[in-house]
Structure 1
Amino acid sequence: MAEIQRYAVYYAPRSGEFADLAGQWLGRAVETGMPLAQPDVQPLPAPLSQLTAEARRYGFHGTIRAPFRPAASVSEGDVSAAVKALAAQLAPVRCDGLQLENLLGFLALTPLGCEAALLELGAIVVETTNALRRPLSDEDIARRRPETLTPRQRILLDLWGYPYVMEEFRFHLTLTDRLPPEHIPAVMAAAKAHFAPIIDQPFTIDDLCLFGEDSEGAFRLIHRYALTG
């Protein structure tokens, strides 16, 4: 992958039914980043392609370490080696299932029954990869709208480059862009029907997935490292 702007550590489902459903919903394959035809869901307040435009750019994922610019001395090999070493030390996180939620206007799948294990996983990944990132610029900080953050979130932003980490971390799998309140019921019904085969089924985070942002702003999978600790 050429001209990587930022790296991120995500969860993304392995090839199979979940990955297929996710790729179809967002219109982009989880593994390859290739475009896919989205389902013709009716009735919706707008085409699904419009409701998922920004989510599609990032690809279907759950954030573990939010996107960061590498430090000047850090190569892709350094980032890959750090994530690979982490994955060898950490165990998979097993959850009871997934539920569909409205998170302040964004629809997302969120896991059940594994909150403490997810907080621990997220904290270790953030702490261990922190030395890889370039310090935030004034522009980076402004983009996070620090005036809207709590005092604790502002501290976390300064320490770790992202405000929603440690006790503020909440793992979720984003399905849409931010929706107007009047659009949410129809889109939620469509998402619930589309993801019915995997909702309420046991869910496991079994990999750390290293993603990179290309020069066009799209995130693509670089490597998948199994959690084997």
Structure 2
Amino acid sequence: MRVALYWAPRLEDPLHRLGSAWLGRDTETGATVAQPDLPGLDIAEITADARSYGLHATLKPPFRLRTSWAAMRADAMALAARTRPFALPPLKLADHHGFLALLESEKCQPLQHLCDACVTGLDSHRAPPTDAEIARRNPARMTERQRELLHQYGYHYVLDQWWFHVTLTRRLTAEEREVVWPALEAHLGDVPAQPRRVTELCLFTQAAPGAPFLLAERLPLLG
């Protein structure tokens, strides 16, 4: 089993419903959701990877447990309990390295602090990656700072190398982007830009390699 700490929209947030419909799966229940049509394209294929991970933004990347679920959950609950809820900047649809994703419209320092706390404060529960897992990351293509982070935290896009993003597609060709972007924009409407607060830390689990991630628990921010 792997565990991850994510941001995910609250159940009453319309982004939960619209994002789940776009990806074709509700990570809260595991239920399959009907997806909108894309003219001339297979939306199920375009969203396959994102659907497997679920509608989310990564705070602490997926990891295998070195300790126990109970110990990790207790520390995650304690982290959430001392974290004050905060406003999330309006989100915007963007081309993110060829993927379509929702990004922050401006940098949110409380979000960065929460992310950093998850990465560093819960790292004692992370089992180290195998040599094969490290090789798949292709360290030779990383910067020196990213290799340092990979060695220390098992992943290179953390701390100062991290950015908030909610991935909604695979990498697209220019031709695919011309079809998918307006369809996704129309599907989401003004919902990404609506005001929302971060009031929960979400624990996701993956039962086995290749299995879809599911939202296991929402831990309230109580600080």
> Normalised by the shorter chain, which TM-score bucket?
over 0.9
Q: Does the CA contact (< 8 Å) of 1:23 and 1:60 recur in 2?
A: yes
Moved more, 55-64 or 76-85: 76-85
Kindly indicate whether residue 54 of structure 2 is the aligned counterpart of residue 59 of structure 1: yes
Determine the C-alpha separation between the residues in 1 that align with 2:190 and 2:214. Answer: 26
Matches within 5 A, 1:1-229: 5-16=1-12, 17-41=14-38, 43=39, 45-71=40-66, 74-215=67-208, 216-229=210-223
Runs of 4+ in structure 1 over 4 Å off: none
Determine the C-alpha separation between the residues in 2 that align with 1:184 and 1:204. Answer: 30
Determine the C-alpha separation between the residues in 2 that align with 1:150 and 1:181. Answer: 28
Query: RMSD over aligned Cα, in angstroms?
Result: 1.4
> One-letter code of the match for 1:222?
A
Q: Structure 2: which 5+ runs fail to align?
A: none
Instruction: Please report how far the alpha carbon of residue 114 of structure 1 lies from its aligned counterpart in structure 2 after TM superposition.
Output: 4.0
> One-letter code of the match for 1:186?
V
Normalised TM-score (structure 1): 0.92
Instruction: Please report how far the alpha carbon of residue 89 of structure 1 lies from its aligned counterpart in structure 2 after TM superposition.
Output: 0.9
Say which SS state the counterpart of residue 186 (structure 2) adopts.
Answer: helix
Determine the C-alpha separation between the residues in 1 that align with 2:30 and 2:155. Answer: 25
Q: Structure 1: which 5+ runs fail to align?
A: none
Q: Does the CA contact (< 8 Å) of 1:30 and 1:60 recur in 2?
A: yes
> One-letter code of the match for 2:81?
A
Normalised TM-score (structure 2): 0.94
Aligned residues: 221
Instruction: Please report how far the alpha carbon of residue 207 of structure 1 lies from its aligned counterpart in structure 2 after TM superposition.
Output: 1.0
Instruction: Please report how far the alpha carbon of residue 96 of structure 1 lies from its aligned counterpart in structure 2 after TM superposition.
Output: 3.0
